[in-house]
Amino acid sequence: MAPEHELRLPEETMRALGHRVIDAIVDHLTGMAAGPVGGRPTEEVMARLASEPLPRAGAADPGKVLDEVHELLRTGNTHPDHPRFLAFVPGPGTYTGVLAAALAAGFAVPTGWRLTGPVSTAVELTTIRWLAGLLGLPEGTGGLFVSGGSTANLTALTVAREEVLKGEGTHLGTAYCSDQTHFSVERALRVLGIGADRVRRLPADTGQRLAPGPLAARVEEDRRAGLLPFAVIANAGTVGTGAVDPLPELAAFCRAEGLWLHVDGAFGAAAALVEEGRAALAGLPLADSLSVDPHKWLFQPAELGCVLLRSPAGLRRTFGVSMPSYLAGAHASGDPLPDPDEGVDFMHHGIQQTREFRALKLWLSLKVFGADAFGGAVAHGIDTARRLGRFIDSHPGTELVTPPSLAVLTFRCVPVVGEDVPDECVDRACLDLMAEGDALVMPTTVAGRRVFRICTINPRTDFTELCEVVVRLHELWSARAEAAGDATARTPGGPA
Ligand SMILES: *Cc1c(COP(=O)(O)O)cnc(C)c1O
Protein backbone atom coordinates (compact mmCIF):
# COMPACT_ATOMS: atom_id res chain seq x y z
CA MET A 1 0.00 0.00 0.00
CA ALA A 2 1.32 3.44 -0.98
CA PRO A 3 1.91 5.95 1.84
CA GLU A 4 -1.25 7.85 2.63
CA HIS A 5 0.12 11.24 1.55
CA GLU A 6 0.41 9.99 -2.04
CA LEU A 7 -3.38 9.90 -2.34
CA ARG A 8 -3.33 6.64 -4.21
CA LEU A 9 -5.50 3.57 -4.22
CA PRO A 10 -4.08 0.10 -4.77
CA GLU A 11 -4.02 -0.77 -8.47
CA GLU A 12 -6.54 -3.57 -8.07
CA THR A 13 -8.94 -1.20 -6.31
CA MET A 14 -8.46 1.42 -9.04
CA ARG A 15 -9.45 -1.07 -11.71
CA ALA A 16 -12.35 -2.49 -9.72
CA LEU A 17 -13.78 0.97 -8.97
CA GLY A 18 -13.31 2.05 -12.57
CA HIS A 19 -15.21 -0.96 -13.85
CA ARG A 20 -18.02 -0.21 -11.43
CA VAL A 21 -18.23 3.39 -12.62
CA ILE A 22 -18.43 2.27 -16.24
CA ASP A 23 -21.09 -0.32 -15.35
CA ALA A 24 -23.12 2.32 -13.53
CA ILE A 25 -22.93 4.67 -16.52
CA VAL A 26 -23.82 1.99 -19.05
CA ASP A 27 -26.71 0.81 -16.86
CA HIS A 28 -27.96 4.40 -16.78
CA LEU A 29 -27.63 4.94 -20.51
CA THR A 30 -29.21 1.65 -21.53
CA GLY A 31 -31.86 1.39 -18.81
CA MET A 32 -32.96 4.98 -18.43
CA ALA A 33 -35.81 4.97 -20.97
CA ALA A 34 -37.68 2.32 -19.01
CA GLY A 35 -37.63 4.42 -15.84
CA PRO A 36 -38.80 7.85 -14.72
CA VAL A 37 -37.36 11.05 -16.18
CA GLY A 38 -35.83 11.73 -12.79
CA GLY A 39 -36.49 11.76 -9.11
CA ARG A 40 -36.31 13.92 -6.05
CA PRO A 41 -34.44 12.97 -2.92
CA THR A 42 -36.37 12.60 0.31
CA GLU A 43 -36.24 15.37 2.90
CA GLU A 44 -34.10 13.08 4.98
CA VAL A 45 -31.54 12.60 2.21
CA MET A 46 -31.46 16.35 1.55
CA ALA A 47 -30.91 17.06 5.24
CA ARG A 48 -28.14 14.49 5.41
CA LEU A 49 -26.40 15.92 2.32
CA ALA A 50 -26.66 19.47 3.61
CA SER A 51 -25.23 18.74 7.06
CA GLU A 52 -22.69 16.06 6.25
CA PRO A 53 -19.50 16.67 8.21
CA LEU A 54 -16.11 16.81 6.50
CA PRO A 55 -14.69 13.27 6.42
CA ARG A 56 -11.37 13.48 8.24
CA ALA A 57 -10.45 9.84 7.77
CA GLY A 58 -10.75 7.96 4.51
CA ALA A 59 -13.33 5.30 3.74
CA ALA A 60 -12.61 1.75 4.83
CA ASP A 61 -14.40 0.61 1.68
CA PRO A 62 -14.24 3.12 -1.22
CA GLY A 63 -16.74 0.95 -3.11
CA LYS A 64 -19.39 1.94 -0.55
CA VAL A 65 -18.80 5.61 -1.34
CA LEU A 66 -19.29 4.88 -5.02
CA ASP A 67 -22.49 2.97 -4.24
CA GLU A 68 -23.78 5.96 -2.34
CA VAL A 69 -23.06 8.45 -5.11
CA HIS A 70 -24.44 6.09 -7.76
CA GLU A 71 -27.74 5.87 -5.91
CA LEU A 72 -27.91 9.65 -5.45
CA LEU A 73 -27.24 10.32 -9.14
CA ARG A 74 -29.65 7.62 -10.25
CA THR A 75 -32.59 8.76 -8.17
CA GLY A 76 -32.00 12.30 -6.96
CA ASN A 77 -31.93 14.52 -10.06
CA THR A 78 -33.80 14.98 -13.30
CA HIS A 79 -32.00 13.43 -16.28
CA PRO A 80 -31.64 15.86 -19.23
CA ASP A 81 -30.47 12.92 -21.37
CA HIS A 82 -33.70 10.99 -20.75
CA PRO A 83 -35.75 10.42 -23.93
CA ARG A 84 -38.83 11.97 -22.31
CA PHE A 85 -37.01 15.05 -21.01
CA LEU A 86 -38.76 17.43 -23.41
CA ALA A 87 -38.28 20.69 -21.50
CA PHE A 88 -35.80 23.54 -22.04
CA VAL A 89 -33.05 22.23 -24.31
CA PRO A 90 -32.31 18.60 -23.46
CA GLY A 91 -28.75 17.23 -23.31
CA PRO A 92 -29.00 13.88 -25.03
CA GLY A 93 -25.27 13.06 -24.90
CA THR A 94 -23.35 10.10 -26.25
CA TYR A 95 -21.25 7.48 -24.54
CA THR A 96 -18.22 8.45 -26.63
CA GLY A 97 -18.36 11.94 -25.14
CA VAL A 98 -18.35 10.39 -21.67
CA LEU A 99 -15.32 8.27 -22.50
CA ALA A 100 -13.51 11.30 -23.91
CA ALA A 101 -14.20 13.28 -20.73
CA ALA A 102 -12.75 10.43 -18.68
CA LEU A 103 -9.69 10.17 -20.91
CA ALA A 104 -9.11 13.92 -20.83
CA ALA A 105 -9.20 13.89 -17.04
CA GLY A 106 -7.31 10.63 -16.72
CA PHE A 107 -4.40 11.88 -18.78
CA ALA A 108 -4.41 15.40 -17.26
CA VAL A 109 -4.18 16.73 -20.80
CA PRO A 110 -2.73 20.24 -21.09
CA THR A 111 -4.58 22.42 -23.61
CA GLY A 112 -3.42 26.01 -23.28
CA TRP A 113 -0.07 25.84 -24.92
CA ARG A 114 1.49 24.16 -27.93
CA LEU A 115 4.72 23.56 -26.02
CA THR A 116 3.16 21.06 -23.61
CA GLY A 117 0.00 20.22 -25.53
CA PRO A 118 0.86 19.85 -29.21
CA VAL A 119 -1.60 17.03 -29.74
CA SER A 120 -4.45 18.59 -27.77
CA THR A 121 -3.94 21.87 -29.63
CA ALA A 122 -3.97 20.10 -32.99
CA VAL A 123 -7.07 18.07 -32.08
CA GLU A 124 -8.92 21.17 -30.92
CA LEU A 125 -8.00 23.10 -34.09
CA THR A 126 -9.14 20.20 -36.25
CA THR A 127 -12.38 19.73 -34.34
CA ILE A 128 -13.09 23.45 -34.72
CA ARG A 129 -12.40 23.16 -38.46
CA TRP A 130 -14.72 20.14 -38.70
CA LEU A 131 -17.47 21.91 -36.77
CA ALA A 132 -17.19 25.09 -38.86
CA GLY A 133 -17.38 22.95 -42.00
CA LEU A 134 -20.39 21.02 -40.73
CA LEU A 135 -22.19 24.32 -40.08
CA GLY A 136 -21.29 25.66 -43.54
CA LEU A 137 -19.15 28.51 -42.21
CA PRO A 138 -16.50 30.14 -44.40
CA GLU A 139 -12.95 28.88 -44.77
CA GLY A 140 -10.71 30.46 -42.15
CA THR A 141 -13.33 30.41 -39.41
CA GLY A 142 -11.72 29.71 -36.06
CA GLY A 143 -12.49 29.74 -32.37
CA LEU A 144 -12.22 27.64 -29.27
CA PHE A 145 -14.17 25.33 -27.03
CA VAL A 146 -15.53 26.82 -23.82
CA SER A 147 -17.80 25.67 -21.02
CA GLY A 148 -21.07 26.41 -22.79
CA GLY A 149 -23.25 28.93 -24.57
CA SER A 150 -23.05 31.49 -21.77
CA THR A 151 -19.27 31.59 -21.94
CA ALA A 152 -19.33 31.47 -25.73
CA ASN A 153 -21.59 34.54 -25.75
CA LEU A 154 -19.35 36.30 -23.24
CA THR A 155 -16.23 35.48 -25.23
CA ALA A 156 -17.71 36.64 -28.54
CA LEU A 157 -19.15 39.84 -27.12
CA THR A 158 -15.83 40.66 -25.47
CA VAL A 159 -14.19 40.49 -28.89
CA ALA A 160 -17.03 42.56 -30.35
CA ARG A 161 -16.53 45.27 -27.74
CA GLU A 162 -12.76 45.35 -28.30
CA GLU A 163 -12.91 45.26 -32.09
CA VAL A 164 -15.68 47.79 -32.55
CA LEU A 165 -15.23 50.14 -29.60
CA LYS A 166 -11.43 49.69 -29.58
CA GLY A 167 -11.23 49.89 -25.84
CA GLU A 168 -12.91 53.29 -25.73
CA GLY A 169 -16.41 54.32 -24.91
CA THR A 170 -17.55 51.16 -23.12
CA HIS A 171 -19.68 53.44 -20.95
CA LEU A 172 -21.56 54.48 -24.11
CA GLY A 173 -21.53 51.10 -25.87
CA THR A 174 -25.00 49.90 -26.80
CA ALA A 175 -26.15 46.45 -27.94
CA TYR A 176 -29.32 45.20 -29.63
CA CYS A 177 -31.29 41.96 -29.53
CA SER A 178 -34.88 40.78 -29.46
CA ASP A 179 -36.81 40.18 -26.25
CA GLN A 180 -36.63 36.45 -27.05
CA THR A 181 -32.86 36.40 -26.54
CA HIS A 182 -31.35 34.09 -23.91
CA PHE A 183 -30.59 35.79 -20.60
CA SER A 184 -26.91 34.86 -20.86
CA VAL A 185 -26.50 37.58 -23.51
CA GLU A 186 -27.66 40.38 -21.23
CA ARG A 187 -25.58 38.96 -18.41
CA ALA A 188 -22.49 38.80 -20.62
CA LEU A 189 -23.03 42.43 -21.59
CA ARG A 190 -23.41 43.40 -17.95
CA VAL A 191 -20.10 41.70 -17.15
CA LEU A 192 -18.56 43.70 -19.99
CA GLY A 193 -19.77 46.98 -18.55
CA ILE A 194 -22.76 47.33 -20.86
CA GLY A 195 -25.55 47.73 -18.33
CA ALA A 196 -29.20 46.89 -18.92
CA ASP A 197 -29.87 50.56 -19.72
CA ARG A 198 -27.76 50.10 -22.87
CA VAL A 199 -29.09 46.71 -23.94
CA ARG A 200 -32.04 47.19 -26.28
CA ARG A 201 -34.29 44.16 -25.96
CA LEU A 202 -36.59 45.00 -28.86
CA PRO A 203 -40.07 43.46 -28.98
CA ALA A 204 -40.05 40.46 -31.32
CA ASP A 205 -42.40 40.41 -34.31
CA THR A 206 -45.33 37.99 -34.56
CA GLY A 207 -42.90 35.27 -35.67
CA GLN A 208 -40.87 35.88 -32.48
CA ARG A 209 -38.05 37.39 -34.58
CA LEU A 210 -35.98 40.54 -34.34
CA ALA A 211 -37.44 42.95 -36.89
CA PRO A 212 -34.82 44.90 -38.90
CA GLY A 213 -36.98 48.04 -39.28
CA PRO A 214 -37.42 48.90 -35.60
CA LEU A 215 -33.80 47.86 -35.01
CA ALA A 216 -32.54 50.40 -37.54
CA ALA A 217 -34.73 53.10 -36.05
CA ARG A 218 -33.42 52.40 -32.55
CA VAL A 219 -29.79 52.39 -33.64
CA GLU A 220 -30.27 55.76 -35.32
CA GLU A 221 -32.02 57.19 -32.30
CA ASP A 222 -29.22 55.98 -30.01
CA ARG A 223 -26.54 57.40 -32.26
CA ARG A 224 -28.31 60.76 -32.22
CA ALA A 225 -28.31 60.58 -28.43
CA GLY A 226 -24.53 60.19 -28.44
CA LEU A 227 -24.42 56.48 -27.63
CA LEU A 228 -22.11 54.04 -29.39
CA PRO A 229 -24.00 51.10 -30.90
CA PHE A 230 -21.51 48.24 -31.39
CA ALA A 231 -23.27 44.87 -31.58
CA VAL A 232 -26.44 43.13 -32.69
CA ILE A 233 -27.13 39.75 -31.15
CA ALA A 234 -29.32 37.57 -33.33
CA ASN A 235 -30.85 34.20 -32.54
CA ALA A 236 -30.31 31.06 -34.57
CA GLY A 237 -33.03 29.29 -32.66
CA THR A 238 -34.61 30.95 -29.65
CA VAL A 239 -35.14 28.65 -26.71
CA GLY A 240 -38.79 29.70 -26.50
CA THR A 241 -40.05 28.79 -29.95
CA GLY A 242 -37.00 27.89 -32.07
CA ALA A 243 -37.40 31.16 -33.98
CA VAL A 244 -34.56 32.28 -36.27
CA ASP A 245 -33.93 36.00 -36.65
CA PRO A 246 -33.60 37.29 -40.26
CA LEU A 247 -29.86 36.77 -40.46
CA PRO A 248 -29.20 37.99 -44.04
CA GLU A 249 -31.00 41.30 -43.43
CA LEU A 250 -29.35 41.75 -40.05
CA ALA A 251 -25.92 40.98 -41.53
CA ALA A 252 -26.42 43.56 -44.29
CA PHE A 253 -27.55 46.13 -41.76
CA CYS A 254 -24.59 45.45 -39.46
CA ARG A 255 -22.12 45.67 -42.32
CA ALA A 256 -23.56 49.00 -43.46
CA GLU A 257 -23.55 50.38 -39.91
CA GLY A 258 -20.18 49.03 -38.80
CA LEU A 259 -21.79 46.87 -36.12
CA TRP A 260 -20.73 43.41 -34.98
CA LEU A 261 -23.22 40.62 -35.68
CA HIS A 262 -23.10 37.93 -33.04
CA VAL A 263 -25.40 34.96 -33.57
CA ASP A 264 -26.48 32.92 -30.57
CA GLY A 265 -26.91 29.46 -32.04
CA ALA A 266 -26.16 27.69 -28.77
CA PHE A 267 -29.10 25.39 -29.27
CA GLY A 268 -30.13 25.82 -32.89
CA ALA A 269 -26.98 26.22 -34.99
CA ALA A 270 -26.56 22.44 -35.13
CA ALA A 271 -29.57 22.32 -37.45
CA ALA A 272 -27.18 23.54 -40.17
CA LEU A 273 -25.78 20.00 -40.31
CA VAL A 274 -28.74 19.09 -42.52
CA GLU A 275 -30.09 20.73 -45.67
CA GLU A 276 -33.45 21.69 -44.24
CA GLY A 277 -31.91 23.25 -41.16
CA ARG A 278 -29.31 25.07 -43.22
CA ALA A 279 -32.08 26.63 -45.28
CA ALA A 280 -33.84 27.76 -42.09
CA LEU A 281 -30.55 29.24 -40.89
CA ALA A 282 -29.71 31.06 -44.13
CA GLY A 283 -27.21 33.83 -43.45
CA LEU A 284 -25.45 31.99 -40.63
CA PRO A 285 -22.07 32.25 -42.45
CA LEU A 286 -22.41 36.04 -42.45
CA ALA A 287 -22.10 36.30 -38.67
CA ASP A 288 -18.98 37.86 -37.21
CA SER A 289 -19.25 35.38 -34.35
CA LEU A 290 -21.39 32.40 -33.48
CA SER A 291 -22.07 30.48 -30.28
CA VAL A 292 -22.90 26.81 -30.55
CA ASP A 293 -23.31 24.25 -27.76
CA PRO A 294 -22.23 20.76 -28.73
CA HIS A 295 -23.51 19.74 -25.29
CA LYS A 296 -27.02 20.27 -26.63
CA TRP A 297 -27.81 19.21 -30.20
CA LEU A 298 -24.41 17.69 -30.97
CA PHE A 299 -24.90 15.10 -28.28
CA GLN A 300 -21.95 15.73 -25.97
CA PRO A 301 -21.92 15.72 -22.19
CA ALA A 302 -21.61 19.09 -20.44
CA GLU A 303 -19.51 21.13 -20.57
CA LEU A 304 -18.95 21.69 -24.27
CA GLY A 305 -19.69 25.04 -25.82
CA CYS A 306 -17.95 26.61 -28.77
CA VAL A 307 -17.37 30.15 -30.00
CA LEU A 308 -16.59 30.56 -33.69
CA LEU A 309 -15.37 33.74 -35.39
CA ARG A 310 -15.18 34.59 -39.05
CA SER A 311 -11.91 36.35 -38.30
CA PRO A 312 -10.43 34.47 -35.32
CA ALA A 313 -7.44 36.84 -35.02
CA GLY A 314 -9.74 39.03 -32.93
CA LEU A 315 -9.58 36.43 -30.15
CA ARG A 316 -5.87 36.90 -29.77
CA ARG A 317 -6.09 40.68 -30.02
CA THR A 318 -8.68 40.58 -27.24
CA PHE A 319 -7.33 37.90 -24.92
CA GLY A 320 -3.60 37.68 -25.71
CA VAL A 321 -1.32 38.66 -22.84
CA SER A 322 2.41 39.07 -22.59
CA MET A 323 4.00 36.11 -20.94
CA PRO A 324 5.31 36.22 -17.38
CA SER A 325 8.97 35.39 -17.02
CA TYR A 326 8.38 31.83 -15.88
CA LEU A 327 6.70 31.09 -19.22
CA ALA A 328 8.44 33.51 -21.60
CA GLY A 329 11.78 31.74 -21.76
CA ALA A 330 10.19 28.64 -23.20
CA HIS A 331 9.51 30.37 -26.50
CA ALA A 332 12.35 29.60 -28.83
CA SER A 333 12.18 33.06 -30.36
CA GLY A 334 12.55 34.70 -26.98
CA ASP A 335 9.73 37.00 -28.05
CA PRO A 336 7.52 37.50 -25.00
CA LEU A 337 4.38 37.55 -27.15
CA PRO A 338 5.01 35.10 -29.96
CA ASP A 339 3.95 35.88 -33.49
CA PRO A 340 0.37 34.65 -33.85
CA ASP A 341 1.29 33.37 -37.29
CA GLU A 342 3.54 30.84 -35.61
CA GLY A 343 0.49 28.94 -34.41
CA VAL A 344 -2.17 28.85 -31.78
CA ASP A 345 -1.71 28.84 -28.03
CA PHE A 346 -5.28 28.59 -26.81
CA MET A 347 -4.48 30.29 -23.50
CA HIS A 348 -4.24 33.51 -25.55
CA HIS A 349 -7.62 32.96 -27.20
CA GLY A 350 -10.02 33.04 -24.30
CA ILE A 351 -10.59 33.72 -20.62
CA GLN A 352 -9.24 30.45 -19.24
CA GLN A 353 -5.65 29.36 -18.91
CA THR A 354 -6.06 25.81 -17.68
CA ARG A 355 -8.92 24.15 -19.53
CA GLU A 356 -10.41 20.72 -19.73
CA PHE A 357 -9.50 18.97 -23.00
CA ARG A 358 -13.13 19.27 -24.06
CA ALA A 359 -12.56 19.11 -27.80
CA LEU A 360 -11.85 15.41 -27.43
CA LYS A 361 -15.52 14.70 -26.74
CA LEU A 362 -16.69 15.89 -30.12
CA TRP A 363 -13.55 14.64 -31.90
CA LEU A 364 -13.94 11.11 -30.56
CA SER A 365 -17.71 11.05 -31.17
CA LEU A 366 -17.31 12.21 -34.78
CA LYS A 367 -14.58 9.65 -35.38
CA VAL A 368 -16.61 6.79 -33.90
CA PHE A 369 -20.03 7.56 -35.39
CA GLY A 370 -19.09 9.66 -38.43
CA ALA A 371 -20.50 13.06 -39.32
CA ASP A 372 -23.29 11.51 -41.40
CA ALA A 373 -24.73 9.81 -38.33
CA PHE A 374 -24.74 13.19 -36.58
CA GLY A 375 -26.63 14.66 -39.52
CA GLY A 376 -29.10 11.81 -39.28
CA ALA A 377 -29.60 12.43 -35.57
CA VAL A 378 -30.22 16.15 -36.11
CA ALA A 379 -32.61 15.45 -39.00
CA HIS A 380 -34.47 13.03 -36.77
CA GLY A 381 -35.07 15.76 -34.20
CA ILE A 382 -36.42 18.16 -36.83
CA ASP A 383 -38.63 15.45 -38.32
CA THR A 384 -39.94 14.34 -34.92
CA ALA A 385 -41.10 17.88 -34.14
CA ARG A 386 -42.85 18.08 -37.48
CA ARG A 387 -44.65 14.76 -36.95
CA LEU A 388 -45.60 15.75 -33.43
CA GLY A 389 -46.95 19.04 -34.75
CA ARG A 390 -49.26 17.14 -37.11
CA PHE A 391 -50.39 14.92 -34.25
CA ILE A 392 -51.15 17.91 -32.01
CA ASP A 393 -53.20 19.62 -34.68
CA SER A 394 -55.17 16.44 -35.39
CA HIS A 395 -55.70 15.48 -31.75
CA PRO A 396 -59.05 16.75 -30.46
CA GLY A 397 -58.53 19.46 -27.84
CA THR A 398 -54.96 20.46 -28.72
CA GLU A 399 -53.58 22.86 -31.30
CA LEU A 400 -50.22 24.31 -32.24
CA VAL A 401 -49.44 27.86 -31.14
CA THR A 402 -46.08 28.10 -32.93
CA PRO A 403 -45.25 25.56 -35.63
CA PRO A 404 -42.24 23.29 -35.30
CA SER A 405 -39.04 25.28 -35.83
CA LEU A 406 -35.63 23.65 -35.34
CA ALA A 407 -37.21 20.87 -33.25
CA VAL A 408 -39.18 23.18 -30.94
CA LEU A 409 -42.94 23.60 -30.95
CA THR A 410 -45.50 25.14 -28.64
CA PHE A 411 -49.14 24.18 -28.27
CA ARG A 412 -52.23 24.87 -26.24
CA CYS A 413 -55.22 22.94 -25.03
CA VAL A 414 -58.41 24.35 -26.49
CA PRO A 415 -61.07 25.18 -23.90
CA VAL A 416 -64.70 24.25 -24.42
CA VAL A 417 -66.45 27.13 -26.21
CA GLY A 418 -67.05 30.09 -23.92
CA GLU A 419 -64.83 28.81 -21.14
CA ASP A 420 -61.89 30.98 -20.05
CA VAL A 421 -59.25 28.74 -18.50
CA PRO A 422 -56.66 30.51 -16.37
CA ASP A 423 -53.09 30.41 -17.70
CA GLU A 424 -51.88 28.84 -14.49
CA CYS A 425 -53.56 25.57 -15.49
CA VAL A 426 -50.78 25.15 -18.07
CA ASP A 427 -48.11 25.48 -15.41
CA ARG A 428 -50.01 23.21 -13.06
CA ALA A 429 -50.44 20.52 -15.70
CA CYS A 430 -46.68 20.57 -16.32
CA LEU A 431 -45.98 20.18 -12.60
CA ASP A 432 -48.57 17.39 -12.35
CA LEU A 433 -46.82 15.61 -15.21
CA MET A 434 -43.47 16.10 -13.49
CA ALA A 435 -44.90 14.67 -10.26
CA GLU A 436 -46.02 11.55 -12.14
CA GLY A 437 -42.37 11.23 -13.12
CA ASP A 438 -42.77 9.82 -16.59
CA ALA A 439 -41.90 12.90 -18.66
CA LEU A 440 -40.83 16.52 -18.30
CA VAL A 441 -42.49 19.34 -20.23
CA MET A 442 -42.25 23.00 -19.27
CA PRO A 443 -44.45 25.93 -20.24
CA THR A 444 -43.47 29.18 -21.86
CA THR A 445 -45.23 32.40 -22.82
CA VAL A 446 -46.11 33.22 -26.42
CA ALA A 447 -47.93 36.44 -27.25
CA GLY A 448 -48.83 36.90 -23.61
CA ARG A 449 -50.40 33.47 -23.02
CA ARG A 450 -48.96 30.43 -21.25
CA VAL A 451 -48.43 27.50 -23.61
CA PHE A 452 -46.87 24.05 -23.53
CA ARG A 453 -43.45 23.75 -25.13
CA ILE A 454 -41.68 20.63 -26.38
CA CYS A 455 -38.12 20.22 -27.70
CA THR A 456 -37.47 17.02 -29.63
CA ILE A 457 -33.70 16.95 -30.13
CA ASN A 458 -33.13 13.65 -28.32
CA PRO A 459 -32.66 11.08 -31.12
CA ARG A 460 -33.71 8.33 -28.73
CA THR A 461 -37.15 9.81 -28.05
CA ASP A 462 -39.90 7.42 -29.12
CA PHE A 463 -42.57 9.09 -31.24
CA THR A 464 -45.47 7.06 -29.85
CA GLU A 465 -44.43 7.92 -26.31
CA LEU A 466 -44.22 11.55 -27.30
CA CYS A 467 -47.84 11.50 -28.49
CA GLU A 468 -48.83 9.82 -25.22
CA VAL A 469 -47.19 12.68 -23.31
CA VAL A 470 -49.32 15.20 -25.24
CA VAL A 471 -52.49 13.22 -24.56
CA ARG A 472 -51.61 12.96 -20.86
CA LEU A 473 -50.90 16.70 -20.65
CA HIS A 474 -54.28 17.38 -22.17
CA GLU A 475 -55.92 15.19 -19.52
CA LEU A 476 -54.03 16.86 -16.69
CA TRP A 477 -54.83 20.32 -18.07
CA SER A 478 -58.51 19.43 -18.44
CA ALA A 479 -58.65 18.27 -14.83
CA ARG A 480 -57.05 21.53 -13.70
CA ALA A 481 -59.34 23.55 -15.96
CA GLU A 482 -62.38 21.81 -14.52
CA ALA A 483 -61.21 22.42 -10.95
CA ALA A 484 -60.55 26.09 -11.75
CA GLY A 485 -64.01 26.37 -13.32
CA ASP A 486 -65.63 24.88 -10.21
CA ALA A 487 -63.70 27.27 -7.99
CA THR A 488 -64.85 30.24 -10.10
CA ALA A 489 -68.44 29.02 -10.03
CA ARG A 490 -68.33 28.83 -6.22
CA THR A 491 -66.85 32.31 -5.87
CA PRO A 492 -69.60 34.81 -5.01
CA GLY A 493 -69.95 37.15 -7.95
CA GLY A 494 -68.33 34.61 -10.27
CA PRO A 495 -70.18 33.22 -13.27
CA ALA A 496 -73.24 31.25 -12.18
C1 LIG B 1 -28.44 27.01 -23.67
C2 LIG B 1 -28.40 28.32 -24.31
C3 LIG B 1 -27.56 29.33 -23.84
C4 LIG B 1 -26.70 29.15 -22.61
O5 LIG B 1 -25.79 28.09 -22.81
P6 LIG B 1 -25.16 27.29 -21.58
O7 LIG B 1 -24.42 26.19 -22.28
O8 LIG B 1 -26.29 26.80 -20.75
O9 LIG B 1 -24.27 28.21 -20.84
C10 LIG B 1 -27.54 30.52 -24.51
N11 LIG B 1 -28.31 30.73 -25.58
C12 LIG B 1 -29.14 29.78 -26.07
C13 LIG B 1 -29.96 30.07 -27.28
C14 LIG B 1 -29.21 28.54 -25.45
O15 LIG B 1 -30.02 27.59 -25.94
Domains and CATH numbers, the chain: 100-321+341-369 (3.40.640.10), 373-490 (3.90.1150.170)
The CA-based angle 85-43-430, given to 5 degrees, is 30
Q: Best mutation site among 157, 178, 184, 297 for ligand 1, i.e. most ligand atoms within 8 A of its Cβ? A: 184
CA of 186 from ligand 1 middle (Å) equals 12
User: Distance between CA atoms of 13 and 19, rounded to whole angstroms?
Assistant: 10
User: Distance between CA atoms of 382 and 389, rounded to whole angstroms?
Assistant: 11
pLDDT tens series, the chain, 496 aa: 678 899 999 999 999 999 999 999 999 999 999 999 999 999 999 999 999 999 999 999 999 999 999 999 999 999 999 999 999 999 999 999 999 999 999 999 999 999 899 999 999 999 999 999 999 999 999 999 999 999 999 999 999 999 999 988 999 999 999 999 999 999 999 999 999 999 999 999 999 999 999 999 999 999 999 999 999 999 999 999 999 999 999 999 999 999 999 999 999 999 999 999 999 999 999 999 999 999 999 999 999 999 999 999 999 999 998 877 776 655 555 555 555 557 899 999 999 999 999 999 999 999 999 999 999 999 999 999 999 999 999 999 999 999 999 999 999 999 988 888 999 999 999 999 999 999 999 999 999 999 999 999 999 999 999 999 999 999 999 999 999 988 776 665 544 4
CA of 266 from ligand 1 middle (Å) equals 5
User: Distance between CA atoms of 415 and 44, rounded to whole angstroms?
Assistant: 41
Note the pLDDT of residue 323.
76
CA of 245 from ligand 1 middle (Å) equals 16
User: Distance between CA atoms of 69 and 186, rounded to whole angstroms?
Assistant: 36
Going by the DSSP 8-state scheme, the letter that residue 77 receives in this structure is S
Q: Which atom of ligand 1 is nearest to the CA of 153?
A: 10
Note the pLDDT of residue 51.
98
CA 273 to chain centre: 17
User: Distance between CA atoms of 258 and 430, rounded to whole angstroms?
Assistant: 45
112 C-beta closer than 6 A to ligand 1: no
142 C-beta closer than 6 A to ligand 1: no
Note the pLDDT of residue 494.
45
Note the pLDDT of residue 52.
97
Note the pLDDT of residue 250.
98
Q: Using CA of residue 133, residue 127, residue 331, residue 315, what is the dihedral sign?
A: positive
188 C-beta closer than 6 A to ligand 1: no
Q: For residue 485, what are the CA distances in angstroms to 319, 421, 449?
A: 59, 7, 18
163 C-beta closer than 6 A to ligand 1: no
323 C-beta closer than 6 A to ligand 1: no
